[in-house]
Amino acid sequence: MIPKKNPKADMSRYSGLFFQIGLVVMLGVTYIGMEWKSTESSDLSLDTITMDKSFEEEIPVVNLNVPPPPPPPPMAAAPEVLQVVDDQIDIEETVLQSTETNQNQVLEIVKFEAVEAEEEEEDVIVPFAIIEQAPIFPGCENVPKDQQRECFQTKMDEHVRNNFSYPQVALELGIQGRVYIVFDIDKEGRITNIKMRAPDKNLENEARRIVSKLPKMLPGKQRGKPVKVSFSLPINFVIHNQ
């Protein structure tokens, strides 16, 4: 059988070349499409004004014919006053009396009486621990002298226990601690100058109330004279759990 077509007309031999050319064309079209930029046209236009020169206003120079101020008036010279002084002037002489004594003069003798200087009492405060004679708490008058200090301390403890009342506010809040109290027993046996340090105001008020109810005492003595005596009293506020 004789083929009808010319063997040279077989295009299948160039299929690979055609495929590569088509691939290159498609890549080119894709690249151009990706890189293509379009801008929207607008009918609006922005006008700019460029100022090349700045306006400078020339200020005219005005010459004011102002007369200068008049010079200050010259100071008038003070007239010279001539005082005529007499050549002869009477001078009064001062007679000085002599302080020397002679034999005929009687001397007056003045007697001086001795003046006793009043001794100023010093306001001395002696601590309770070193006072010669401690203050006497009511009820310790008949106690021997060597036991009066111990009796004072015992009566002081009894006074605190008998008048002690735990503050209700501090009890509800669970406040407890030690209150340090320092006060003076003056020359009349009265309690003065109360000072204290406490962890809470309610405890401080209760301690002040207890000390203020102390009775009048017999004052302490130093060298046989009444003096102020300082005394320290710690009060411990403790809540016991039942």
Task: Judge contact between 200 and 177, C-beta under 8 A.
Answer: yes
Q: How confident is the model at residue 162 (pLDDT cuts 50, 70, 90)?
A: very high
User: Topology of 125-237 in CATH?
Assistant: 3.30.1150
Quick one: average pLDDT of 214-229? 92
Rounded CA separation 146/144 (Å): 6
The pTM of the full predicted model, rounded to 2 decimals, is: 0.49
Which residues lie closer than 8 Å to 35 by C-beta, 6 or more apart? Answer: none
Q: What sign does the CA torsion over 138, 143, 144, 149 have?
A: negative
Rounded CA separation 4/19 (Å): 27
Q: Is 140 left (phi over 0), alpha (psi -120 to 50) or beta?
A: alpha
The 10 Å Cβ neighbour count of residue 198 is 20
Rounded CA separation 229/188 (Å): 11
Selection from 52-66, 119-133, 209-223 with the highest mean pLDDT? 209-223
Amino acid at residue number 201: K
What does the pLDDT read at residue 207? 93
100-111 pLDDT per residue, tens: 656 665 556 656
The 10 Å Cβ neighbour count of residue 181 is 20
Checking DSSP bridges between strand 177-185 and strand 228-237, what pairing results, if any? antiparallel
23-72 pLDDT per residue, tens: 888 888 888 888 876 655 555 444 433 444 444 445 455 455 666 777 87
Q: Give domain limits for the chain.
A: 125-237
